Amino acid sequence: MRLLLATMSHETNTFSPVPTKLDRFCRDGTTLLSGQAAVDFYRGTGTCMGGYLAVANEIGAEVVVPVCASAPPSGPVDHEAYETFCRLILDAVAQGGFDGIWLDLHGAMVAERFDDGEGELLSRIRAIDPQTPLCVAYDMHANIFPAMVSNAQIVTGYQTYPHIDQRQTAERAARALLRVMRREVKPTSAWGSAPMLPHVMAQGTHQAPNKDLQALCASWEASGRALAASLFVGFPHADVEMAGLSAVVVTDNDPTEAQAMVDELISAAWTARRDFMFDIEPLEASVSRAKSMGAPGELPVVLLDHYDNCASGGTMDTTDTLREIIRQDLDDVVFFGIYDPDAVRQAVEAGVGATVTLSIGAKLPMPQLPVASAPLTVTGVVQTISSGSFRLKGGLTPGLQIYMGRTVVLDTGKVQIVLLSRHIEPTAQEMLQVLGIDPARKKYVAIKSRVHWRADLGKIAREIVECAGVGVCTSDYGQLTFRKVRRPVFPLDPELKWNQPA
């Protein structure tokens, strides 16, 4: 058996000023992975490609991997980069001789010329090869367009947020497609969407309503009622027509049942739409509340600087939450982090042990926001300089090699500020431990994260305080000008009445 495996993954925040060129898709900053190098990189990891490779290995299949392109979220994907990925995949498809095509796509990719990056790729594949069975594993944040479903036999989506089931999602797709390839089942899909943009901060599967919706999907797959059932909460910061919540269900030759399950999912989500909203507390009040909670010798209070999470397209260089933490004089804080390659370079030149005064952050203008951040001047001792390279043991993607890039810890006495030269979301304790910091022993752990931190850092949180700073993944939709998303849509149109499926 011969399989084509490929990754083309990007969650595009159309409000983000961070450019998305080809180099961002190089995991180590220099190399676009393909072939044996891609297999070696992903084999055994808790990623979609890790899942595909495990199933391929189990059945003794030969794999061809034309590209594994995966980048942290940012602005629309550069046209040349997008066409490069498509060409690599399409050239491989055109060679032919594959028994199956297994794809790892995010589902919320916006390319400069295509709002539906994944649907465009799939349509091009089908124009060359209309026959070979094809499956796709999507992120739960996929914004589903019709071509993303109609061009695949099997579609699966993550059923956890934080996404700790990436590997399993690909394995479910692969195993269902194997049944198609063996002609044991005849897949038929249904999909539908509800006109709603759930807030990311209210999408976690540690709580209702998403917890219950995902459990429903898993129960249908377990019982065999569905070959695959997925509820996509969508990614609201991709301002495209189909942004928002949708469901895709695949059954064995039963379109009526598939549609019934889709209708049940989107109807239940719509009924719970107000629970998918997030209430915002002013920043000053949040930090003050955190200050009253901190206690030495206990597990930390976690402060979430959630408007500026790079894993949702944030610049990761806004300073407002850090500034407020310093202004209110919190002590024993680690702040992860501020993206500022210039500041990193200056600290590295000064060397470990040197006292430096740096102007950090706010170097990337955010023209799509009505508010701006400002650089922050800090004085501290360069405590740590790290290459930022290590293999993750736990967290979201166990086994994956991480390249944080050159990383510095600047200690102001009360706050240890992590300065970064690449965009990386703090999700695991290991990311701090490699910098010589044990987060469990801090009074405060302040991070630019929204939900993914719960995968590992969540284990040590005594209290959680959400901080409304500044950033392009703002939780305040009122700060964003939506131009393309279908209207009316809840909660942009809060009084919307929608005739949900019975």
Q: Minimal distance in Å, beta carbon 67 to Zn ion?
A: 21
C-beta closer to Zn ion: residue 161 or 335: 161
Q: Counting contacts by CB under 5 A, is residue 139 touching Zn ion?
A: yes
Nearer to Zn ion, 196 or 376 (CB): 196
SS (H, E, C) 360-423: ECCCCCCCCCCCCCCCEEEEEEEEEEECCEEECCCCCCCCCEEECCCEEEEECCCEEEEEECCC
Does 305 engage in binding with Zn ion (CB under 5 A)?
A: no
3-state secondary structure of 358: strand
CB of 456 to Zn ion, least distance (A): 16
| Measured torsion, CA atoms of residues 92, 93, 95, 101, in degrees rounded to the nearest 10 | 100
**Among 78-86, 133-141, 320-328, 429-437, which window interacts with Zn ion (CB under 5 A)?**
133-141
**CB-based contacts of 360: which residues, under 8 Å, 6+ apart?**
317, 319, 338, 340, 343, 375, 376, 377, 378, 417, 419
Distance in angstroms (rounded) separating the CA atoms of residues 368 and 349: 34
Q: Is 323 in the site for Zn ion (CB under 5 A)?
A: no
Task: Compare residues 312 and 346 and give the one whose CB is closer to Zn ion.
Answer: 312
Q: Which two tokens stand for residue 93?
A: 């498809």
Stretch that binds Zn ion, among 72-80, 139-147, 331-339, 470-478 (CB under 5 A): 139-147
- Within 166-254, where are the H helices? 166-181, 210-223
Least distance from Zn ion to the Cβ atom of residue 446, Å: 22
Is the CB of 27 or the CB of 106 nearer to Zn ion? 106
Using CB under 5 A, pick the residue from 10, 24, 27, 141 that binds Zn ion.
141
Stretch that binds Zn ion, among 23-31, 140-148, 354-362, 423-431 (CB under 5 A): 140-148
**Options 141-149, 283-291, 352-360, 418-426: segment touching Zn ion (CB under 5 A):** 141-149
- Rounded to an integer, what distance in angstroms lies between the CA atom of residue 430 and that of residue 457? 9
Residues in contact with 183: Cβ distance below 8 Å, sequence separation at least 6, in sequence order: none
**Looking at 134-142, 222-230, 245-253, 318-326, which segment touches Zn ion (CB under 5 A)?**
134-142
- Minimum Å gap between C-beta 200 and Zn ion is 9
CB of 304 to Zn ion, least distance (A): 16
- Burial of 242-258, coded b for 16+ CB within 10 Å and e otherwise, reads bbbbbbbbbbbebeebb
Write each residue from 53 to 92 as x if it is in contact with Zn ion (CB under 5 A), else as -, in one continuous string.
----------------------------------------
Determine the residue with CB nearest Zn ion.
141
Q: Rank residues 139 and 317 by Cβ distance to Zn ion and give the closer one.
A: 139
Does 104 interact with Zn ion (rule: CB under 5 A)? Answer: no
382 phi/psi in degrees, rounded to 5: -70, 105
**Residue 422 in the binding site for Zn ion (CB under 5 A):** no
**Near Zn ion in 430-469, by CB under 5 A:** none
| Least distance to Zn ion, CB of residue 427, Å | 12
Closest approach of Zn ion to the CB of residue 138, in Å:
9
**Residue 419, Cβ neighbours under 10 Å: how many?**
30
User: How far is Cα 206 from Cα 202, in angstroms, rounded to an integer?
Assistant: 10
* Minimum CB distance to Zn ion smaller for 323 or for 450: 450
Using CA atoms, how far residue 225 sits from 80, 326, 412, in Å, is 42, 55, 58
CB of 164 to Zn ion, least distance (A): 11
> Is residue 334 within 8 Å of residue 449, measured between CB atoms?
no
Long-range contact pairs involving 395-398 (C-beta distance under 8 Å, separation at least 24): 395/427, 395/428, 395/430, 395/455, 395/456, 396/46, 396/162, 396/163, 396/164, 396/166, 396/427, 396/428, 396/452, 396/455, 396/456, 397/45, 397/46, 397/47, 397/50, 397/166, 398/45, 398/46
Smallest gap from Cβ 455 to Zn ion, in A, equals 12
For the bound state, the minimum distance from the C-beta of residue 274 to Zn ion, rounded and expressed in Å, comes to 22
Interaction of residue 165 with Zn ion, rule CB under 5 A: no
Give whichever of 10 and 406 is closer to Zn ion, judged by the CB atom: 10
Size of the site for Zn ion (CB under 5 A): 2
Closest to Zn ion by CB, 164 or 216: 164
Stretch that binds Zn ion, among 14-22, 30-38, 137-145, 326-334 (CB under 5 A): 137-145
CB of 14 to Zn ion, least distance (A): 16
Comparing CB distances to Zn ion, the nearer of 141 and 167 is 141
Query: Using omega within 30 degrees of 0 as the cis cutoff, is the peptide bond preceding 282 cis?
Result: no
- Residues lying near Zn ion in the complex (CB under 5 A) are found at 139, 141
